[in-house]
Protein backbone atom coordinates (compact mmCIF):
# COMPACT_ATOMS: atom_id res chain seq x y z
CA UNK A 1 0.00 0.00 0.00
CA UNK A 2 1.08 3.56 -0.59
CA UNK A 3 0.27 6.64 1.51
CA UNK A 4 -1.29 9.49 -0.46
CA UNK A 5 -2.75 12.95 0.11
CA UNK A 6 -5.81 13.84 -1.95
CA UNK A 7 -4.94 17.26 -3.36
CA UNK A 8 -8.56 18.04 -4.14
CA UNK A 9 -9.42 17.84 -0.42
CA UNK A 10 -6.34 18.94 1.56
CA UNK A 11 -6.62 22.50 2.87
CA UNK A 12 -2.99 22.70 4.03
CA UNK A 13 -3.62 22.91 7.77
CA UNK A 14 -0.44 20.93 8.54
CA UNK A 15 -2.04 19.01 11.41
CA UNK A 16 -0.70 15.78 9.90
CA UNK A 17 2.85 17.09 10.31
CA UNK A 18 2.25 17.12 14.09
CA UNK A 19 0.87 13.67 14.68
CA UNK A 20 2.86 11.09 12.73
CA UNK A 21 5.31 9.25 15.01
CA UNK A 22 7.70 8.87 12.05
CA UNK A 23 7.36 12.50 10.97
CA UNK A 24 6.48 11.37 7.47
CA UNK A 25 4.52 14.56 6.72
CA UNK A 26 6.66 17.66 6.21
CA UNK A 27 5.37 21.18 5.66
CA UNK A 28 5.20 21.80 1.92
CA UNK A 29 6.91 24.67 0.15
CA UNK A 30 5.03 25.32 -3.07
CA UNK A 31 1.41 26.34 -3.45
CA UNK A 32 -0.59 24.22 -5.88
CA UNK A 33 -3.01 25.43 -8.54
CA UNK A 34 -5.62 26.22 -5.85
CA UNK A 35 -3.12 28.22 -3.79
CA UNK A 36 -2.88 25.54 -1.11
CA UNK A 37 0.46 24.35 0.24
CA UNK A 38 0.12 20.57 0.48
CA UNK A 39 2.48 18.76 2.88
CA UNK A 40 5.28 16.67 1.38
CA UNK A 41 5.81 13.02 2.23
CA UNK A 42 9.22 12.06 3.56
CA UNK A 43 9.89 8.37 2.74
CA UNK A 44 6.24 7.35 3.15
CA UNK A 45 7.15 3.66 2.81
CA UNK A 46 8.12 3.84 6.52
CA UNK A 47 4.44 4.14 7.51
CA UNK A 48 3.37 1.16 9.62
CA UNK A 49 0.09 0.93 7.83
CA UNK A 50 1.59 0.84 4.34
CA UNK A 51 3.64 -2.19 5.31
CA UNK A 52 1.27 -4.16 7.50
CA UNK A 53 -2.31 -3.29 6.52
CA UNK A 54 -2.76 -6.31 4.24
CA UNK A 55 -1.02 -8.71 6.64
CA UNK A 56 -3.24 -7.74 9.59
CA UNK A 57 -6.39 -7.03 7.58
CA UNK A 58 -7.09 -3.78 9.41
CA UNK A 59 -5.77 -0.23 9.71
CA UNK A 60 -2.69 0.05 11.92
CA UNK A 61 -1.84 3.38 13.52
CA UNK A 62 -3.95 5.51 11.17
CA UNK A 63 -3.59 8.52 13.46
CA UNK A 64 -2.91 10.88 10.55
CA UNK A 65 -6.06 9.69 8.77
CA UNK A 66 -8.25 10.13 11.87
CA UNK A 67 -6.73 13.54 12.55
CA UNK A 68 -6.94 14.98 9.04
CA UNK A 69 -10.02 17.22 9.31
CA UNK A 70 -10.49 17.15 5.55
CA UNK A 71 -10.52 13.40 4.90
CA UNK A 72 -7.54 13.86 2.56
CA UNK A 73 -5.24 11.04 3.73
CA UNK A 74 -5.63 7.53 2.40
CA UNK A 75 -3.71 4.51 1.16
CA UNK A 76 -3.70 3.36 -2.43
CA UNK A 77 -2.64 0.07 -3.97
CA UNK A 78 0.85 0.07 -5.40
CA UNK A 79 1.82 -0.88 -8.93
CA UNK A 80 3.64 -4.21 -8.91
CA UNK A 81 7.40 -3.75 -8.46
CA UNK A 82 7.43 -0.03 -7.73
CA UNK A 83 10.97 0.98 -6.82
CA UNK A 84 11.50 1.74 -3.11
CA UNK A 85 14.11 3.71 -1.28
CA UNK A 86 15.46 1.43 1.44
CA UNK A 87 15.49 3.10 4.85
CA UNK A 88 17.33 1.51 7.73
CA UNK A 89 16.33 2.85 11.12
CA UNK A 90 18.07 2.35 14.43
CA UNK B 1 -15.22 -1.31 5.30
CA UNK B 2 -13.58 1.72 6.86
CA UNK B 3 -15.04 4.87 8.40
CA UNK B 4 -14.46 6.67 5.10
CA UNK B 5 -17.33 4.69 3.60
CA UNK B 6 -19.76 6.55 5.89
CA UNK B 7 -19.00 9.85 4.16
CA UNK B 8 -21.06 11.22 1.31
CA UNK B 9 -18.16 11.45 -1.11
CA UNK B 10 -20.15 13.74 -3.41
CA UNK B 11 -20.41 16.35 -0.62
CA UNK B 12 -16.68 16.49 0.16
CA UNK B 13 -14.61 18.59 0.66
CA UNK B 14 -16.78 20.08 3.40
CA UNK B 15 -17.19 23.78 4.11
CA UNK B 16 -15.26 23.86 7.41
CA UNK B 17 -12.31 26.26 7.48
CA UNK B 18 -8.77 24.95 6.99
CA UNK B 19 -7.71 23.27 10.22
CA UNK B 20 -11.15 23.30 11.84
CA UNK B 21 -11.34 20.47 14.38
CA UNK B 22 -14.89 19.45 13.51
CA UNK B 23 -13.74 17.16 10.68
CA UNK B 24 -11.50 15.23 13.08
CA UNK B 25 -14.38 14.62 15.48
CA UNK B 26 -16.60 13.33 12.66
CA UNK B 27 -13.79 10.93 11.64
CA UNK B 28 -13.50 9.56 15.19
CA UNK B 29 -17.26 9.21 15.60
CA UNK B 30 -17.65 7.38 12.29
CA UNK B 31 -14.71 5.11 13.16
CA UNK B 32 -16.49 4.18 16.42
CA UNK B 33 -19.79 3.59 14.57
CA UNK B 34 -17.93 1.41 12.07
CA UNK B 35 -16.65 -0.66 15.01
CA UNK B 36 -20.24 -1.10 16.24
CA UNK B 37 -21.02 -2.60 12.82
CA UNK B 38 -24.24 -0.58 12.62
CA UNK B 39 -26.04 -0.49 9.30
CA UNK B 40 -26.62 2.85 7.60
CA UNK B 41 -30.36 2.16 7.34
CA UNK B 42 -30.57 1.71 11.11
CA UNK B 43 -28.67 4.84 12.04
CA UNK B 44 -29.93 8.42 12.26
CA UNK B 45 -27.83 11.54 12.81
CA UNK B 46 -29.45 14.60 14.34
CA UNK B 47 -28.05 18.11 14.75
CA UNK B 48 -29.09 21.69 15.45
CA UNK B 49 -27.51 24.81 13.95
CA UNK B 50 -23.85 25.84 13.84
CA UNK B 51 -20.67 24.82 12.03
CA UNK B 52 -20.52 21.62 14.11
CA UNK B 53 -24.16 20.90 13.36
CA UNK B 54 -23.43 20.64 9.64
CA UNK B 55 -21.79 17.26 10.31
CA UNK B 56 -24.80 14.99 9.46
CA UNK B 57 -24.98 16.55 5.99
CA UNK B 58 -21.71 14.82 5.09
CA UNK B 59 -22.76 11.38 6.27
CA UNK B 60 -24.45 8.80 4.05
CA UNK B 61 -27.29 7.94 6.44
CA UNK B 62 -30.63 9.46 7.37
CA UNK B 63 -30.27 12.77 9.16
CA UNK B 64 -32.21 15.64 10.68
CA UNK B 65 -30.67 19.13 10.55
CA UNK B 66 -33.07 20.79 12.96
CA UNK B 67 -33.58 24.20 14.54
CA UNK B 68 -30.99 25.86 16.78
CA UNK B 69 -30.64 24.06 20.13
CA UNK B 70 -33.34 21.48 19.49
CA UNK B 71 -31.30 18.51 18.29
CA UNK B 72 -31.81 16.52 21.50
CA UNK B 73 -35.56 17.17 21.47
CA UNK B 74 -35.82 15.88 17.88
CA UNK B 75 -33.53 12.93 18.68
CA UNK B 76 -35.76 12.02 21.64
CA UNK B 77 -38.73 11.95 19.27
CA UNK B 78 -36.90 9.76 16.75
CA UNK B 79 -35.82 7.27 19.43
CA UNK B 80 -39.25 7.06 21.07
CA UNK B 81 -41.05 6.68 17.74
CA UNK B 82 -38.75 3.85 16.65
CA UNK B 83 -36.56 2.42 19.43
CA UNK B 84 -34.84 0.13 16.90
CA UNK B 85 -32.96 3.09 15.43
CA UNK B 86 -29.48 4.07 16.59
CA UNK B 87 -29.54 7.81 17.23
CA UNK B 88 -26.44 10.01 17.30
CA UNK B 89 -26.51 13.76 17.90
CA UNK B 90 -23.84 16.21 16.73
CA UNK B 91 -23.96 19.56 18.48
CA UNK B 92 -21.87 22.63 19.29
CA UNK B 93 -21.27 24.36 22.60
CA UNK B 94 -23.65 27.21 21.74
CA UNK B 95 -26.27 24.86 20.32
CA UNK B 96 -26.10 22.51 23.32
CA UNK B 97 -25.48 24.76 26.30
CA UNK B 98 -26.88 28.18 25.38
CA UNK B 99 -30.14 28.01 23.42
CA UNK B 100 -30.43 24.24 23.91
CA UNK B 101 -29.39 24.11 27.59
CA UNK B 102 -32.80 23.03 28.80
CA UNK B 103 -33.11 20.18 26.29
CA UNK B 104 -29.62 19.05 27.30
CA UNK B 105 -30.29 18.70 31.03
CA UNK B 106 -33.69 17.09 30.49
CA UNK B 107 -32.24 14.68 27.92
CA UNK B 108 -29.74 13.61 30.63
CA UNK B 109 -32.47 13.45 33.27
CA UNK B 110 -34.71 11.25 31.13
CA UNK B 111 -31.65 9.20 30.20
CA UNK B 112 -32.92 8.57 26.68
CA UNK B 113 -30.85 5.97 24.80
CA UNK B 114 -28.98 8.34 22.46
CA UNK B 115 -25.35 9.41 22.07
CA UNK B 116 -24.55 13.13 22.01
CA UNK B 117 -21.22 14.38 20.70
CA UNK B 118 -20.50 18.02 21.45
CA UNK B 119 -17.78 19.75 19.45
CA UNK B 120 -16.84 22.39 21.96
CA UNK B 121 -14.85 25.17 20.30
CA UNK B 122 -15.73 27.51 23.17
CA UNK B 123 -17.27 30.05 20.79
CA UNK B 124 -20.13 30.66 18.33
CA UNK B 125 -18.14 29.79 15.23
CA UNK B 126 -20.77 30.08 12.54
CA UNK B 127 -22.04 33.55 13.43
CA UNK B 128 -18.58 35.12 13.61
CA UNK B 129 -17.17 34.46 17.05
CA UNK B 130 -19.51 35.60 19.81
CA UNK B 131 -18.82 34.33 23.31
CA UNK B 132 -20.60 31.11 24.30
CA UNK B 133 -21.45 29.61 27.71
CA UNK B 134 -18.16 27.69 27.54
CA UNK B 135 -15.84 30.58 26.60
CA UNK B 136 -13.09 30.41 29.26
CA UNK B 137 -12.45 33.31 31.65
CA UNK B 138 -10.30 36.00 30.05
CA UNK B 139 -10.72 34.76 26.48
CA UNK B 140 -11.54 37.15 23.68
CA UNK B 141 -14.54 36.99 21.39
CA UNK B 142 -16.54 39.59 19.50
CA UNK B 143 -18.89 39.96 22.49
CA UNK B 144 -16.12 39.84 25.12
CA UNK B 145 -13.62 42.35 23.69
CA UNK B 146 -11.98 42.88 27.09
CA UNK B 147 -11.81 39.19 27.95
CA UNK B 148 -14.66 37.00 29.13
CA UNK B 149 -15.65 37.88 32.70
CA UNK B 150 -18.23 35.14 33.26
CA UNK B 151 -17.41 31.67 34.55
CA UNK B 152 -17.94 28.99 31.88
CA UNK B 153 -20.09 25.88 32.14
CA UNK B 154 -18.37 22.55 32.66
CA UNK B 155 -20.53 20.56 30.24
CA UNK B 156 -19.47 17.16 31.59
CA UNK B 157 -20.21 18.09 35.21
CA UNK B 158 -23.58 19.34 34.02
CA UNK B 159 -24.34 16.04 32.27
CA UNK B 160 -23.24 14.03 35.31
CA UNK B 161 -25.34 16.10 37.70
CA UNK B 162 -28.35 15.84 35.41
CA UNK B 163 -28.11 12.04 35.22
CA UNK B 164 -26.44 10.90 31.97
CA UNK B 165 -25.32 7.25 32.00
CA UNK B 166 -22.01 7.81 30.22
CA UNK B 167 -19.84 10.95 30.18
CA UNK B 168 -16.33 11.51 28.88
CA UNK B 169 -14.19 14.34 27.58
CA UNK B 170 -11.33 14.36 25.09
CA UNK B 171 -9.89 16.77 22.54
CA UNK B 172 -9.24 16.81 18.80
CA UNK B 173 -5.63 15.86 19.58
CA UNK B 174 -6.60 12.61 21.32
CA UNK B 175 -8.09 10.88 18.28
CA UNK B 176 -7.68 7.25 19.37
CA UNK B 177 -8.93 7.95 22.89
CA UNK B 178 -11.88 9.86 21.49
CA UNK B 179 -12.76 7.00 19.15
CA UNK B 180 -12.72 4.60 22.12
CA UNK B 181 -14.83 6.97 24.21
CA UNK B 182 -17.46 7.31 21.49
CA UNK B 183 -17.44 3.52 21.09
CA UNK B 184 -18.05 3.11 24.84
CA UNK B 185 -20.79 5.74 24.68
CA UNK B 186 -22.52 4.00 21.78
CA UNK B 187 -22.45 0.72 23.70
CA UNK B 188 -23.79 2.15 26.96
CA UNK B 189 -27.60 2.13 27.16
CA UNK B 190 -29.04 5.51 28.09
CA UNK B 191 -27.83 9.04 27.51
CA UNK B 192 -24.15 9.12 26.53
CA UNK B 193 -22.39 12.46 26.38
CA UNK B 194 -18.96 12.93 24.84
CA UNK B 195 -17.44 16.38 24.90
CA UNK B 196 -14.69 16.95 22.33
CA UNK B 197 -12.73 20.16 22.71
CA UNK B 198 -11.81 21.39 19.23
CA UNK B 199 -9.81 24.15 17.66
CA UNK B 200 -11.63 26.87 15.74
CA UNK B 201 -8.82 28.79 14.07
CA UNK B 202 -11.15 31.28 12.41
CA UNK B 203 -13.36 32.54 15.23
CA UNK B 204 -11.48 31.56 18.41
CA UNK B 205 -7.81 31.01 17.57
CA UNK B 206 -7.44 34.22 15.59
CA UNK B 207 -8.58 36.33 18.57
CA UNK B 208 -6.75 34.37 21.24
CA UNK B 209 -3.11 34.41 20.13
CA UNK B 210 -3.16 31.06 18.34
CA UNK B 211 -1.45 32.11 15.12
CA UNK B 212 -1.24 28.63 13.58
CA UNK B 213 -3.86 25.89 13.66
CA UNK B 214 -1.37 23.66 15.43
CA UNK B 215 -0.88 26.18 18.26
CA UNK B 216 -4.41 25.72 19.55
CA UNK B 217 -4.10 21.93 19.23
CA UNK B 218 -0.86 22.14 21.25
CA UNK B 219 -2.72 24.17 23.86
CA UNK B 220 -5.44 21.51 24.10
CA UNK B 221 -2.81 18.79 24.41
CA UNK B 222 -0.75 20.52 27.09
CA UNK B 223 -3.75 21.66 29.15
CA UNK B 224 -5.54 18.33 29.39
CA UNK B 225 -5.03 16.28 32.53
CA UNK B 226 -6.00 12.62 32.81
CA UNK B 227 -8.77 11.95 35.31
CA UNK B 228 -6.59 9.53 37.28
CA UNK B 229 -3.88 12.16 37.71
CA UNK B 230 -6.42 14.82 38.59
CA UNK B 231 -7.96 12.59 41.27
CA UNK B 232 -4.53 11.74 42.67
CA UNK B 233 -3.53 15.42 42.92
CA UNK B 234 -6.84 16.22 44.59
CA UNK B 235 -6.32 13.43 47.10
CA UNK B 236 -2.82 14.62 47.92
CA UNK B 237 -4.13 18.15 48.28
CA UNK B 238 -1.80 19.42 45.57
CA UNK B 239 -2.37 22.51 43.49
CA UNK B 240 -4.13 22.04 40.13
CA UNK B 241 -3.65 24.99 37.75
CA UNK B 242 -7.06 26.55 36.97
CA UNK B 243 -6.53 26.43 33.20
CA UNK B 244 -6.19 22.63 33.14
CA UNK B 245 -9.20 20.53 32.22
CA UNK B 246 -9.87 16.87 32.99
CA UNK B 247 -9.95 14.32 30.17
CA UNK B 248 -11.00 10.70 30.26
CA UNK B 249 -14.05 8.70 31.18
CA UNK B 250 -15.86 10.64 33.89
CA UNK B 251 -18.95 8.52 34.49
CA UNK B 252 -20.34 5.14 33.44
CA UNK B 253 -23.39 3.93 35.33
CA UNK B 254 -26.66 2.07 35.06
CA UNK B 255 -29.51 4.46 35.78
CA UNK B 256 -32.81 3.17 34.34
CA UNK B 257 -33.34 3.91 30.66
CA UNK B 258 -36.82 4.42 29.18
CA UNK B 259 -37.67 1.59 26.83
CA UNK B 260 -34.50 -0.43 27.50
CA UNK B 261 -34.14 -3.38 29.91
CA UNK B 262 -30.78 -3.31 31.68
C1 LIG C 1 -33.23 30.55 16.97
C2 LIG C 1 -31.89 30.95 16.47
N3 LIG C 1 -31.18 31.87 17.16
C4 LIG C 1 -29.95 32.24 16.73
C5 LIG C 1 -29.44 31.71 15.58
C6 LIG C 1 -28.08 32.17 15.09
N7 LIG C 1 -27.03 31.19 15.27
C8 LIG C 1 -26.68 30.34 14.29
S9 LIG C 1 -25.39 29.33 14.70
C10 LIG C 1 -25.31 30.04 16.25
C11 LIG C 1 -24.28 29.63 17.25
C12 LIG C 1 -23.68 28.30 17.04
O13 LIG C 1 -22.68 28.06 17.97
P14 LIG C 1 -22.21 26.61 18.29
O15 LIG C 1 -23.38 25.75 18.59
O16 LIG C 1 -21.14 26.68 19.31
O17 LIG C 1 -21.66 26.07 16.89
P18 LIG C 1 -20.26 26.32 16.17
O19 LIG C 1 -20.56 27.14 14.97
O20 LIG C 1 -19.34 27.00 17.14
O21 LIG C 1 -19.78 24.94 15.82
C22 LIG C 1 -26.27 31.04 16.40
C23 LIG C 1 -26.43 31.85 17.62
C24 LIG C 1 -30.21 30.77 14.87
N25 LIG C 1 -29.75 30.19 13.74
N26 LIG C 1 -31.42 30.42 15.32
S1 LIG D 1 -4.10 17.19 7.96
FE2 LIG D 1 -5.15 16.76 6.03
S3 LIG D 1 -5.90 18.75 5.32
FE4 LIG D 1 -4.36 19.15 6.90
S5 LIG D 1 -2.43 19.41 5.74
FE6 LIG D 1 -2.53 17.25 6.36
S7 LIG D 1 -3.50 16.22 4.60
FE8 LIG D 1 -3.89 18.40 4.36
S1 LIG E 1 -0.62 5.81 9.71
FE2 LIG E 1 0.66 6.44 11.44
S3 LIG E 1 2.76 5.96 10.78
FE4 LIG E 1 1.50 5.95 8.95
S5 LIG E 1 1.70 8.03 8.14
FE6 LIG E 1 -0.14 7.99 9.44
S7 LIG E 1 0.55 8.68 11.45
FE8 LIG E 1 2.39 8.10 10.27
S1 LIG F 1 -15.70 29.18 12.02
FE2 LIG F 1 -14.58 27.84 13.44
S3 LIG F 1 -15.99 26.13 13.87
FE4 LIG F 1 -16.75 27.18 12.03
S5 LIG F 1 -15.83 26.05 10.29
FE6 LIG F 1 -14.48 27.79 10.74
S7 LIG F 1 -12.95 26.97 12.16
FE8 LIG F 1 -14.67 25.52 12.15
MG1 LIG G 1 -19.14 26.55 19.15
3-state secondary structure of B177: helix
Q: How far is the CA of A37 from the centre of ligand 5 (A)?
A: 27
Hey, are the CB atoms on B172 and A67 less than 8 Å from each other?
yes
- CATH number of this structure's domain A2-76: 3.30.70.20
Q: Round to whole Å and give the CA distance between A34 and A22.
A: 28
For A19-28, what is each residue's pLDDT tens digit?
999 999 999 9
The total number of structural domains in chain B stands at 1
Q: Round to whole Å and give the CA distance between A57 and B70.
A: 41
Per domain, the residue ranges of chain A are 2-76
Interface pTM, i.e. ipTM: 0.93
- Examine residue B98 and state whether it is found in any structural domain, yes or no: yes
The CATH code of the domain that includes B244 is: 3.40.50.970
Examine the pLDDT at B155 and tell me if it is beyond 80. yes
pTM of the predicted model as reported, rounded to 2 decimal places: 0.95
What pLDDT, on a 0 to 100 scale, did the predictor assign at position A51?
83
Whole-number percent of chain B with pLDDT over 70: 99
- Examine residue B258 and state whether it is found in any structural domain, yes or no: no
pLDDT band at A87 (very low <50, low <70, confident <90, very high): low
How far does the CA of residue A62 sit from the closest CA of chain B (Å)? 9
| Best of A34, A39, A64, A75 for a ligand 2 pocket test (most atoms within 8 Å of beta carbon) | A39
Query: Which residues in chain A have Cβ-Cβ distances shorter than 8 Å to B172?
Result: 67
Q: Does A69 touch chain B (CB under 8 A)?
A: yes
What pLDDT, on a 0 to 100 scale, did the predictor assign at position A77?
87
- Examine residue B261 and state whether it is found in any structural domain, yes or no: no
Which residues make beta-bridge pairs with B91?
B118
**Nearest in space to B146 (alpha carbons), one of B164, B131, B163, B124:** B131
- Examine residue B201 and state whether it is found in any structural domain, yes or no: yes
* Range(s) of the domain holding residue B154: 3-251
> Checking phi first, is residue B163 left (phi over 0); if not, alpha (psi -120 to 50) or beta?
left
Q: Would the CB of B71 count as within 6 Å of ligand 1?
A: no
Amino acid sequence: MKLAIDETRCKGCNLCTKVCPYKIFKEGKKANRRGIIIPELDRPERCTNCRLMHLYGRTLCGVCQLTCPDQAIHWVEEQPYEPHKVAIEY
Amino acid sequence: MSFEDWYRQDRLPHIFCAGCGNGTIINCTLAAIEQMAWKKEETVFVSGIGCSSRAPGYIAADSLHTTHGRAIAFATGVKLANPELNVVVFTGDGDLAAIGGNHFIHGCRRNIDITVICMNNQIYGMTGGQGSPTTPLGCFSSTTPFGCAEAPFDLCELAIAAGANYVSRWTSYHVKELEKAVYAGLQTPGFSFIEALVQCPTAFGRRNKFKQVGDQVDYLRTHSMLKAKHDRLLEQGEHIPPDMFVVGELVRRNRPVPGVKI
